Amino acid sequence: MSRPFLKMNGLGNDFVVVEARTQPFSPTAEQVRAIADRAAGVGCDQLIVVEPADGVDARVRFWNSDGEEVAACGNGTRCVGWLLMQSTGKDQALIETKAGRLLASRAGERLVSVDMGEPGLDWREIPLATEHDTRALDVALYDHPALASPPACVSMGNPHVVFFVADLDAAPVREAGPVVERHPLFPEQVNVGFAQVIDRHHIRLRVWERGAGLTKACGTGACAALVAAARRDLTDRTATVQADGGELLIEWRADNHVIMTGPAAVDFAGELP
């Protein structure tokens, strides 16, 4: 039996979204990899399945292109939030994820804000294998002059490490990313961000995503970069984060919640074989 899907993207971070509220869908890791394969499948950074749940508009599950299920995906949550609001006609959608309940709200024409909840800043919340100050790690993760400044760690429902670099174009993103992703300090592996602070309201960012590689944008990565920068007083608590695929507005509010605002786009519809 074929199954309809939507191909969506948030700033070029692209997803295959499968509606499973009436017909259950639990893909195997092999099926996820086949769908995500850009040569032989549909092609995507993440597979998203929308399921029924009590007390919320939907439950959402995420898989990276390597077949591993993950707890959080910021750009994907924004896209699903837009879909749910389109279907209900409401201006908000409450979404259940493995990282907790997230509230999506309309923020303009095809713009969606998502309350991503509170960042995890304790070393056990990331998690790290051993105790460290997550504001600035006192351990070398990769030997390169551009990465000399100690990185920071933040959990946004998934683990992030953020390197602050003077020149993003000179940063060894493709070389360091896969090595740091699997560093033994991170028992669940880690998303690796490379952030260049332009000024107190503007960050340039590239993220090597755990299980997906270098993507055009990473929503939770943008949240983690802003939190990490604000903790070190490199930026204010609200900043625009510029990814390869476009801009996200990130606000770390006084109530400790992180709000992410950005676009959601539908590319095409199709059917999985």
Please report the pLDDT score of residue 24 as a whole number: 94
Both 95 and 179 in one domain: the answer is: no
Residue reference for tokens 């997803």: 15
Residues annotated catalytic, as ranges: 73, 218
Which pLDDT belongs to residue 273? 77
| 139 in any annotated domain | no
Residue 223: domain span: 145-256
Say if residues 257 and 120 touch (Cβ distance below 8 Å): no
In a domain, 138, yes or no: no
**135: in domain:** no
pTM above 0.85, yes or no: yes
pLDDT computed for residue 102 by the predictor: 96
265 touches 120 (CB < 8 A):
no
CATH classification of the domain holding 236: 3.10.310.10
Alpha-carbon distance 141 to 179, whole Å? 8
For residue 125, being part of any structural domain is answered with no
- Average pLDDT per consecutive 10 residues, the chain (273 residues; last block may be shorter): 91 96 94 97 97 97 97 96 96 96 95 97 98 96 96 98 98 98 98 98 98 96 98 98 98 98 97 88
What whole-number distance in Å separates Cα of residue 243 and Cα of residue 12?
A: 9
Q: Using omega within 30 degrees of 0 as the cis cutoff, is the peptide bond preceding 159 cis?
A: no
The number of domains in the chain is 2
Q: What is the pLDDT of residue 1?
A: 62
